[in-house]
Amino acid sequence: MALTAQEIEALMPDCTELLSDEPEMESSLHYTQLLILVTCLEWLWRDRKDFFIGANLSIYYSRQQLKNRDFRGPDFFLVKDTQKRPRLSWVTWEEDGKYPNVIIELLSDSTAKVDKGLKKQLYQNQFRTPEYFWFSPNTLELVGWRLTDSEYKTIPASENSWYWSQELGLYLGVWEDKLRYFTVEGKLVPTPEEANLEEIRKAEIALQRAEIEERKAESERKKAESERQKAEFERQRADEAENKAAILAQKLRELGVEPDSL
């Protein structure tokens, strides 16, 4: 007996709680790099609620894949136009069929061959992910691919060896031996810690400037007070001279001598 779509849906298990099944990352260097990629973008887009970032998280894209335990979890992936909330894994059929917009693989000796071969084909043919990058934290190799006419074509590097990501609206480039984001103006997207230190630095500079201005203003006040005191002293001297002259004139008159006659 044929079933309606609603009856089939009722029989289908809820897969939203599928656990990720990815191996540990190659080294602490890979963990640090992944943390930078996640936290920098989270900080930059802190006011947005329409994206999801997966970090070493399994992507489930077919029930056959589940049966075969053929798990393919990118080191880093971004899905746009979706709800920003925690997930145990990314299950495409529970996410309106959405696949990542951007994938970044961190190459290692044990994964480089798969990342450059099998996974590249999977992301191109099955996921149809618009942009794919791979980066080696060890050798600093960075390559970008963009899906063009159903096939990955190499993204041309800029003069400073950065790669423009249309999906991110950012450049990806190597800075101090780490893969980092850069704005269209070429500014480094900071980690939250870097942003905090920059705010502290700016606050310290502002405080130093305020202290300099305060010292300058105090110097101006002292100078003005000195000028006032000098003017007051000169006025007092003038008053004293005038008083002495008046007293002398009075004494001369008492002696019968007119001051003007002297």
pTM of this prediction?
0.73
Instruction: Output the pLDDT for position 112.
Output: 92
* Nearest residue to 91 via CA among 61, 63, 65, 53: 61
| Residue 82: count of CB within 10 angstroms of its CB | 17
Instruction: Output the pLDDT for position 31.
Output: 94
Instruction: Output the pLDDT for position 9.
Output: 47
Q: Which residues pair with 165 in a beta bridge?
A: 170
* Backbone Cα Rg of the chain: 38
Instruction: Output the pLDDT for position 230.
Output: 83
- What stretches in the chain show pLDDT beneath 50? 3, 5-12
Contact 183, 174 (CB under 8 A): no
